[in-house]
């Protein structure tokens, strides 16, 4: 199958009720037709995820958001204009189309317009064929590390996918951590999950102060333990011989320690983070020591993921 046929084939499979693991610029998603209740139910069984956790609906453009929502506040319009397509999810008041099996019974729906060319091509074709949106959580088993390559998806889900389900190739996810989730149902935006779209970017776009409080984060990626490899993750301690070690390149590797990644920047730290966590498991390491970067807002999102990976 050539590059152009794969997204078309995937769109048809989705409309036929099958699942497609789809590359996005954040992480790979496990996609189903968001108006097909039985296809969406299969997402939960393949992931092993509790069924009350709401899903993000993905569409091709801001125009395609309209059927899913009751209203788009002015400040959310600014965010949509500035950061879509991109690594941002908006939580908005839902329309009739966003059923309880998508929203977990909440009166809101989470929506994203992804930027990855493969995800975009699938969405364009899916909508051309009459589809309205694609539900897609990260394509990992519940509580595990999100996949940022097609190989990682295969390692996570091959055993659980059916013969008509598909895994699309799309290279390494460039952002590498999940989208920023922003609650847009009150008078000011509120961050529910940290990501590459940062608080200052949101303030600059909307002209509003965020009502951001960490304790308010209430989404599944916010369970204390999440994104966890099998190796025990320890933060900001001195590694011992035999430990895995993840830190910016500027940190030297102590003797006898196994370097799993040496990113040069915080962007690279984010984009290689989940691959580094997986690498620790592939190498059969018992412990992974991570030195958390701390000099910008993206570092806050990296810290958030590492804290969850280390919690048990
Ligand atoms: O980058 C991403 O967002 C990736 C890619 C595939 O798009 N998706 C992703 O999905 O991370 P998932 O299901 O792993 O995480 C989505 C989070 C969950 O924690 C869920 O609780 C939250 O979004 N969520 C979904 N709908 C919501 C809603 N109506 N209100 C609040 N949180 C919601
Ligand atoms: Mg997830």
* 47, 269, 293, 296 from 273: Cα distances, Å: 21, 6, 12, 16
64 lines ligand 1 (CB under 6 A): no
Atom of ligand 1 nearest to the CA of 22: 6
Pocket test for ligand 1, best of 24, 54, 84, 145 (most atoms within 8 A of CB): 54
Question: Can you give the pTM of this predicted structure?
Answer: 0.95
Of all ligands present, the nearest one to the C-alpha of 111 is 1
221 lines ligand 1 (CB under 6 A): yes
179 lines ligand 1 (CB under 6 A): yes
Q: What is the pLDDT along the chain (312 residues), one digit of tens a residue?
A: 556 689 999 999 999 999 999 999 999 999 999 999 999 999 999 999 887 789 999 999 999 999 999 999 999 999 999 999 999 999 999 999 999 999 999 999 999 999 999 999 999 999 999 999 999 999 999 989 999 999 999 999 999 999 999 999 999 999 999 999 999 999 999 999 999 999 999 999 999 998 755 544 444 455 566 788 999 999 999 999 999 999 999 999 999 999 999 999 999 999 999 999 999 999 999 999 999 999 899 999 999 999 999 987
Cis bond before residue 85 (omega within 30° of 0):
yes
109 lines ligand 1 (CB under 6 A): yes
- Report the distance separating Cα 304 and Cα 312, nearest Å: 14
140 lines ligand 1 (CB under 6 A): no
29 lines ligand 1 (CB under 6 A): yes
CA-closest residue to ligand 1 atom 13: 137
- Report the distance separating Cα 202 and Cα 183, nearest Å: 12
Cβ count within 10 A of residue 107:
10
Q: Are 176 and 274 in contact (CB under 8 A)?
A: yes
- Report the distance separating Cα 144 and Cα 24, nearest Å: 18
Atom of ligand 1 nearest to the CA of 179: 1
């Amino acid at each position: 199958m050539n590059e152009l046929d794969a997204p078309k084939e995937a769109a048809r499979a989705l409309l036929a009720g099958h699942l497609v693991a789809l590359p996005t610029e954040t992480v790979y998603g496990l996609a189903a037709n968001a108006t097909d209740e039985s296809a969406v139910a299969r997402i939960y069984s393949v992931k092993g995820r509790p069924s009350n956790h709401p899903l993000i609906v993905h569409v091709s453009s801001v125009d395609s958001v309209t059927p899913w929502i009751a209203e788009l506040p002015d400040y959310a319009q600014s965010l949509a204009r500035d950061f879509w397509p991109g690594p941002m999810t908006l939580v908005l008041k839902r329309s009739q189309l966003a059923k309880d099996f998508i929203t977990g019974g909440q009166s809101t729906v989470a929506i994203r317009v992804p930027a990855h060319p493969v995800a975009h091509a699938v969405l364009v074709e899916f909508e051309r064929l009459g589809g309205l949106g694609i539900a897609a959580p990260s394509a990992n088993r519940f509580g595990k590390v999100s996949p940022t390559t097609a190989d990682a998806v295969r390692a996570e889900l091959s055993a659980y996918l059916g013969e008509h389900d598909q895994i699309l190739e799309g290279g390494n996810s460039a952002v590498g951590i999940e989208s920023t989730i922003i609650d847009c149902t009150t008078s000011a935006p509120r961050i529910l999950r940290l990501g590459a779209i940062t608080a200052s970017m949101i303030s600059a776009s909307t002209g509003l102060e965020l009502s951001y409080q960490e304790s308010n984060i209430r989404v599944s990626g916010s369970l204390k333990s999440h994104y966890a490899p099998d190796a025990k993750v320890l933060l900001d301690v001195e590694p011992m011989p035999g430990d895995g070690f993840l830190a910016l390149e500027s940190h030297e590797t102590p003797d006898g320690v196994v370097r799993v990644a040496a990113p040069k920047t915080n962007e690279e730290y984010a984009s290689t983070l989940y691959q580094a966590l997986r690498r620790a498991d592939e190498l059969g390491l018992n412990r992974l020591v991570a030195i958390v970067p701390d000099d910008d807002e993206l570092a806050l999102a990296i810290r958030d993921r590492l804290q969850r990976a280390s919690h048990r």
